[in-house]
Amino acid sequence: MTHAPVASDLVASLRPLLTAEALAEAPGSGADPGDLEQAVWLRLLERLDAQDPPHDPQGWLRRAVRAEARRTRRTARRETPLRREPADDGDRDPERLALAAARRRALRDAVRRLPGRCPRLMEALLSPRDPTYREIAGELGISQGSLGPERSRCLGCLRRLLAPEVAAR
């Protein structure tokens, strides 16, 4: 790419403004400021790749942050929590209930042995109140965009922890 030096200069000059704009727009949109920043950086890179740099970078950046905040608000209005179906009455068999309780205990024990912030993340994901990614990100103090990769890493660790227990059965 021929625009690499221009891009790095543009990024360096816009970083403080983007941080300030994202911090200002995030509360009204319900978005994480880091997520807004990432989305705007991506839009800027797409423009630079298309050889279409903004003529007024500061004005473009302000408009882009507001557009991302609006998109986040629209998405949040359309999101609905997952509704769980009531359990089948056939699941009241004492043996099935005991086995299900043992599986839940094994899972909770394995979750507690996970490294780093995985135990807190997995507990939030397994919570009976079924929080949204936005709520979980707020509880853990991380960006919403980081939850997916973090969840995948934690699930991989959990699989490795549970593999010997599953194989023993």
- For tokens 């991506």, what's the residue? 42
Under CATH, which number does the domain 90-168 receive?
1.10.10.10
Averages of pLDDT over each 10 residues, the chain, 169 residues:
64 91 88 89 88 90 93 80 59 83 87 91 88 89 88 90 68
The DSSP element (H or E) to which 117 belongs, if any, is none
Backbone angles phi, psi at 143, to 5 degrees: -70, 150
* DSSP secondary structure of 28-84: HHT--HHHHHHHHHHHHHHHHHTT---SSHHHHHHHHHHHHHHHHHHHHHH--PPPP
Domains of the chain, residue spans: 4-76, 90-168
Model confidence over 132-163: pLDDT tens digits? 888 899 888 888 888 888 999 999 999 888 87
Q: What is the pTM of this model?
A: 0.47
